[in-house]
Structure 1
Amino acid sequence: MNDVEQLIIDKLTGQIGEEDDFNRHTHWWWYGIAAAVAGIVIVSLFLLINHNRNKIAPAPGILVKLANGEVMHTSVQDSLASWMQDVRKANIDPSALNTVMVPAGKQYTFHLSDGTKVWMNSISSLQFPLLFTQPQRNVTIAGEAYFKVAHASQPFTVQVNGLTVTALGTEFNIKSYNKESTYISLVTGSVSVQNGLGERIVLLPGEGVVVEDRNSPLRKEKYDESLMLGWMQGVYFFTNEKLEHLAVIAKRWLEIEIQIKDPTLAGLRFTGALDRNKPISHFLSWLASSGGIRYEIVGSKVVISRK
């Protein structure tokens, strides 16, 4: 190979080498740009998500107001143990009263410290101590709850709308919503019910007490278990119920506001069931077919009018 040929080969191989170096550097340059762009996108998405997260209010859940005024949110069923830890950390008297509040559309189940199990319905609150240190195990209910009382030497008492319900070990339901009658329904065992006037009634299984208001006498009567306890299975059974009251139940149970556009429809009466496990459209369609009414969804409301 002469010098000229070698020079040509050297130039060719040099150009190829330079081209390889160029391509290699070019590829890395593009990789660097892609990585930088990806980093910018990720950071932007992170900032956007956090910005939007700050704008979104947390979904309403179960509220626990401790005796020291601190309010906690929980979605965990039967979370008494975690409350006890928080109370110990806060150095709160375990015999002081705390309050569990269940909002519309929710239910909550938990155990008290004595082992009593409580099922709470929507729009209900229960005041109770974390430890029962008094001669009586005393709680206060507003709304609706089912109690499965643990056996103990201390009587278990529930204060509700001016009434005192006393039991040792039994199961019963209490329903006492604002501007509605109070119902106490015994399932097992026995309870005594006493009002502020000094009247006292002892109930046996299958019996209940109805009180119209604080100043009304106690009235004992048999009750329909499916009507009174269906809510625990997610079904509200009703008999000869006014449409205006069904609207109240729908708001309490499903967080849906029903507006009755024609006032003359408010007194229409229905017998049936509202199943919270099914879409509200099932219930509304049934209403429309049963009562000669029609409904339409306007914004966040359901408006009912005459056909």
Structure 2
Amino acid sequence: MQNFNQFVFNSLLGDEQFVRWAKGEPCSNPEYWASWKTQYPDQGREFDDAVKVASALSFAAPSISDQEIAYMWQNGVLRKNQDRSRKKIAPSVLLMRIAAAFFLPLLLTTAFLYFNQARLQKQYSAFVAGQSGKNIAVQAPIGTRTVVDLPDGSKVWLNSGSRLTYPAFFADNQREVRLEGEAFFDIEKESKPFLVQNSGPTVKVYGTRFNVNDYADEDHVVVALEEGSVALDLKGKEAFLHPGEVSVYHRNEHSLSIAKNDLEPLLCWKDGKLIFRNTSLDEIVRVLQRQYNVVFEFDDPSLAGYQYNATFRNESLEQILQLLKVSAPQMQFEYTKAYLTKDGKQVKGKVVVKRKKI
């Protein structure tokens, strides 16, 4: 029989999302845990035992949170207790020793959590207090998209060139993040609100799916609600969004408008698509600059107002420029790819939009 891999066992119990999944609670990427044994067949025993322990914790110590369980395992508190407890038990029969090797770790961990909840929570609270004020910043490089798993199990998709800042641990009364750029949020439902700070109205939700576009080079901050409800706080005044509605905060006028809208062009970016409906070339260019890390220049400024209806699915920039040219034969796009200078500096790619000479 293959030796038990204690490291794998401990790593699983030190993962908050695994603990949530094992307890039958909502977690990020449940398909990953469901297929774990298929991907790692040699570690099935460790996985099964970890599931048993996490399941036991759910009824033995209901007031200890998933984060607390993961923290205690990561920091060896429970493992040290198990080691001490094992030393006190000396079965005289080999059969009892074999049974104890499988059962006692689970039993002792459960009993330890049940009788030591107050001390564990105090230790965990001290740890969280020491982490308060420490923020994590995640940025999606130009031309890429990034997925972020937040401490509460919520998931955030960051669009190209966007930045999300959030605390290592959320406060007891609210969950607050700051966004620069664009992100799609899938928020875990909790009693404490989730706040998204940006350059427009503060977005306040409890559990919902929505998109915020707050790129600095745009004139508006746009919030699109897919499901649930959203409250928008603008200088102490609240407005509410319902599914299928879009809010537009006008930076210059400091005003807010809300209307029903087609959400697909606003949300499709996270699936690798770009959809434009009666969109000016000037607007399209700003999106392409962020997505492909290039600079556009208009040789003839009047071309910027040309309207397009187009859908792109993971096409290269060259392919997109060719499609734009087909739709507007009077235009031509001169594309110079990015390159390195002799001293090793990178020069961005450049696209010059010109009116085609007849």
Q: Which has the higher helix share?
A: 2
1:293–1:305 contact (8 Å) kept in structure 2: yes
Long gaps (5+) in structure 1? 1-80, 86-90
Q: Distance in 1 between matches of 2:304 and 2:255?
A: 29
Question: What stretches of structure 1 move > 6 A for 4+ residues in a row?
Answer: none
2:131–2:169 contact (8 Å) kept in structure 1: no
Q: What is residue 305 of structure 2 aligned with on the other side?
A: 267
Q: What is residue 214 of structure 2 aligned with on the other side?
A: 176
**Kindly, what percent of the aligned residue pairs are identical?**
33
Residue identity matched to 1:303: V
Provide the secondary structure at the position in 1 that maps to 2:305: coil
Provide the secondary structure at the position in 1 that maps to 2:255: coil
Could you say if the C-alpha distance between residues 102 and 92 of structure 1 is closer, same or farther in structure 2, counting changes exceeding 3 Å? farther
Which of 251, 263, 269 is residue 213 of structure 1 equivalent to? 251
Residue identity matched to 1:102: A
Provide the secondary structure at the position in 2 that maps to 1:128: strand
Q: What is residue 164 of structure 2 aligned with on the other side?
A: 126
Report how far residue 290 of structure 1 moved: 1.2
Residue 235 (str. 1) matches residue 257 (str. 2): no
Which of 175, 180, 189 is residue 228 of structure 2 equivalent to? 189
1:161–1:214 contact (8 Å) kept in structure 2: no
Q: What is residue 246 of structure 1 aligned with on the other side?
A: 284
Q: Distance in 2 between matches of 1:208 and 1:306?
A: 35
TM-score when normalising by structure 2: 0.57
Provide the secondary structure at the position in 1 that maps to 2:171: coil
Residue 204 (str. 1) matches residue 242 (str. 2): yes
Q: Distance in 2 between matches of 1:220 and 1:246?
A: 23
2:159–2:182 contact (8 Å) kept in structure 1: yes
Report how far residue 257 of structure 1 moved: 2.4
Q: Which has the higher strand share?
A: 1
Q: What is residue 326 of structure 2 aligned with on the other side?
A: 289
User: Size of the alignment, in residue pairs?
Assistant: 218
Q: What is residue 144 of structure 1 aligned with on the other side?
A: 182
Question: C-alpha offsets along residues 120-172 of structure 1, whole Å, 9 cap, x if unaligned?
Answer: 10111111001112411011111110111112221111111141111111111
Which of 276, 286, 302 is residue 351 of structure 2 equivalent to? 302
Which of 139, 151, 164 is residue 101 of structure 1 equivalent to? 139
Q: Distance in 1 between matches of 2:150 and 2:243?
A: 23
Provide the secondary structure at the position in 2 that maps to 1:302: strand
Question: C-alpha offsets along residues 187-218 of structure 1, whole Å, 9 cap, x if unaligned?
Answer: 1111111112x321122111121111175222
Q: Distance in 1 between matches of 2:260 and 2:194?
A: 23
Q: Distance in 2 between matches of 1:282 and 1:104?
A: 19
1:162–1:214 contact (8 Å) kept in structure 2: no
Provide the secondary structure at the position in 2 that maps to 1:248: helix
TM-score when normalising by structure 1: 0.66
Q: Distance in 2 between matches of 1:187 and 1:172?
A: 5
Greater mean deviation of Cα atoms: 235-244 or 172-181: 235-244
Provide the secondary structure at the position in 2 that maps to 1:208: strand
Residue identity matched to 2:319: H
Larger radius of gyration: 1
Q: Distance in 1 between matches of 2:243 and 2:171?
A: 29
Report how far residue 285 of structure 1 moved: 1.2
Report how far residue 118 of structure 1 moved: 0.4
Q: Distance in 2 between matches of 1:285 and 1:302?
A: 12
2:147–2:155 contact (8 Å) kept in structure 1: yes
Q: Distance in 1 between matches of 2:321 and 2:223?
A: 30
Residue identity matched to 2:323: W
Provide the secondary structure at the position in 1 that maps to 2:282: helix
